[in-house]
Chain A
């Protein structure tokens, strides 16, 4: 029943943030240490040490150390992958959002479309790989289509869930206030469904990064997935690890940005803060 929350002082807040950052670094730090020890003590010779990997990473990003085919090409691969990830994701959102709204709100649409999508959904993206290579050929289009498939379902399912599960009281409240019929879609259904839709978009974008490696196994010359696949065929483990790290970091930053946007747009929702 308290009407005001006591704001912590600035120093307290800094301490809390510092503490959570420190705690978040414990596990990665320990793994890094283990990696370092394992490679420098020669427990394994199959993977490079963290220091070597860091050097390769610098060369991959800026060149000037080894000057091979992959030196200073990070931005090219990163941009190629980002283009496919965001392009495929946006295209998926473009289809999944309206289809989800139709299925969630219109019984006829649900009866005709829902069974079809339920049937298609269990098929993993990797299983689509050969077919998409046949349909779209070897190359970027195929990667794009797989990213599309990967992020389509989470967006679709969460949109359906969101627009279907609006508190019926809110429709009554809106209609007694003079907002009836189709006007309720924009003033009640959409805002009420926004938290679910947002969850769907976030999962969809995460999955887009997830499937990009598979998508770029289809024989594209550029892209982080292509780098990882090339690294594998050339037995250049450091290249594989560099590609993995870049995907991890960029995917993380991308997710944080979406989260920040979500926290702002959904600041009204008591349950939607991450």
Chain B
């Protein structure tokens, strides 16, 4: 992972550890993580629960501060959440009192854009996620897949450079999940966003990512960083895909023998 003549990474995680204390118990959620992400990359963080993948994501978002080490964006420490790093939560976290349009407008309004600009932005991103017919609906009237589309549009509308996704499709049914994966890749390729995507599904990671970062629990750490060169669109039934799946699966389960949970 030498970065000799590489450009400045958008995200630079340097020896980051994070521990939480519950009463008198101290839990090491993340230990000595190092990760560089370049602009435009699609990274998947994968691992069993307790491997610290969500903690790492939340540190990148600025919701958590590392106990030791540094988390940098464009070389500057990430010390609070901000519009350049948009988060898509598994349970959507849409504002239930706002319509689809106003959920998407929330960010641009916070940044003080004019009414006309906000309207333009909303129209553009409502169209991008295909929710024109539902622009005035409230979140509770939408299906899970539609809600997650709103959540994605909401961070894109805010000009986020980096989109952080915490098991965003985990609560969706298989068909909706596949469609949203396609749509996400499509949006990513058109906008050249940088995406960090947390999942526990190997197949999802291989389908989406440029790099699959395998993490393992107890304490949470980065096990391996795997670059995938499989051309897109990827066929989940192809032998190449299966080969990678077998390989990653072995890495993912290797630590089970070493450490009993």
> Which positions in A face B, CB cutoff 8 Å?
1, 3, 167, 169-170, 172-180, 183, 187-188, 191-192, 194, 267-270
A-B contact count (CB 8 A): 81
**Is B61 an interface residue, CB under 8 A from the partner?**
yes
Could you tell me if B111 and A188 are in contact, using CB atoms closer than 8 angstroms? no
Q: Which 3 A-B pairs have the closest CB atoms?
A: A177-B107, A270-B140, A178-B110
* B111 partner residues in chain A, CB cutoff 8 A: 178
Given A1-B143, A176-B83, A269-B140 in contact, is the A188-B95 Cβ separation under 8 Å? Answer: yes
For the complex, give the distance between the alpha carbons of A170 and B103 in Å: 12
A sample of 5 more A-B contacts (CB under 8 A), given A1-B143, A174-B95, A191-B95, is A173-B87, A173-B89, A177-B106, A177-B107, A269-B97
CB distance from B153 to the nearest CB of A (A): 12
Query: Residue B82 contacts which of A173, A176, A183, A191 (CB distance < 8 angstroms)?
Result: A176
Give the chain A neighbours of B144 by CB distance below 8 A. Answer: 1
Judging by beta carbons under 8 Å apart, are B82 and A192 in contact? no
- The smallest beta-carbon distance between A163 and chain B, in angstroms, is 14
Chain B interface residues (CB < 8 Å from chain A): 61-63, 80-83, 85-87, 89, 91, 93-99, 106-107, 110-111, 134, 138-140, 142-144, 146, 154-155, 158, 173
| Chain A residues, Cβ within 8 Å of B107 | 177-178
Closest to A183 in B: B110
A169 touches B110 (CB 8 A): no
Check B106–A169 contact: CB distance below 8 A: no
Whole-angstrom distance between the Cβ of A169 and the nearest chain B Cβ: 4
**B140 contact set on A, CB distance < 8 A:** 268-270
Contact partner, A175, options B81, B138, B139, Cβ 8 Å: B81
| Contact residues in A for B96 (Cβ distance below 8 Å) | 192, 268-270
CA distance A191 to B97 in the complex (A): 7
Pairwise interchain contact A170-B95, C-beta atoms closer than 8 A = yes
User: With A194-B97, A269-B96 in contact, is A169–B81 under 8 Å at CB?
Assistant: no
Q: Which residues of A lie under 8 Å from residue B80 when comparing CB positions?
A: 175, 180
What separation, in Å, do the CA atoms of A179 and B80 have in the docked complex? Answer: 12
Q: Out of A170, A179, A267, A268, name the residue touching B93 (CB < 8 Å).
A: A170
Known interface pairs A191-B97, A268-B96, A268-B140. Does A177 touch B158 (Cβ–Cβ under 8 Å)?
yes
Q: Is A173 a contact of B93 with CB atoms below 8 Å? A: yes
Contacts of A194 in B (CB 8 A): 97
Nearest CB in chain B to that of A176: its residue: B81
Q: Is the CB of B98 within 8 A of A268?
A: yes
Task: Output the least CB separation between A28 and chain B (Å).
Answer: 35
Chain A CB within 10 Å, residue with most, of B86, B93, B142, B154 = B93
Q: How far, in Å, is B108 (CB) from chain A's closest CB?
A: 9
For B83, the closest partner residue in chain A by CB is A178
Give every chain A residue within 8 A of B139 (Cβ-Cβ): 268
Contact A169 B143 (CB under 8 A): no
**Within the assembled complex, what's the spacing in Å between the Cα atoms of A180 and B140?**
25
A268-B141 Cα distance, complex, nearest whole Å: 9
Residues of B within 8 Å of A268, CB to CB, are 96-99, 138-140
Query: B residues within 8 A CB of A1?
Result: 143-144, 173
Are A267 and B110 in touch, CB under 8 angstroms?
A: no
| A172 and B81 contacting across the interface, CB-CB below 8 Å | yes
Task: Please tell me if the beta carbons of B93 and A178 are within 8 angstroms of each other in the complex.
Answer: no
Please state if B143 and A178 are interface contacts (CB–CB under 8 Å).
no
Inter-chain contact B106/A174, CB cutoff 8 Å:
yes
Task: Specify which chain A residues have a CB less than 8 angstroms from the CB of B93 in the assembled complex.
Answer: 167, 169-170, 172-173
Closest residue of B by beta carbon distance from A179: B110
A44 to chain B, nearest CB (A): 53
A177 near B83 with CB under 8 A, answer: yes
Q: How many angstroms from the CA of A270 to the CA of B94 in the assembled complex?
A: 14
Q: Mind listing 7 A-B residue pairs with CB under 8 Å?
A: A1-B143, A169-B91, A170-B93, A172-B87, A173-B94, A174-B95, A179-B106
Tell me whether A176 and B95 are in contact (CB under 8 A).
no
Which chain B residues border A191 with CB–CB below 8 Å?
95, 97-98
Complex formed: what's the CA distance from A183 to B112 in Å? 12
Chain B residues near A179 (CB-CB < 8 A):
106, 110
* Set A167, A172, A180: member contacting B63, Cβ < 8 A: A172
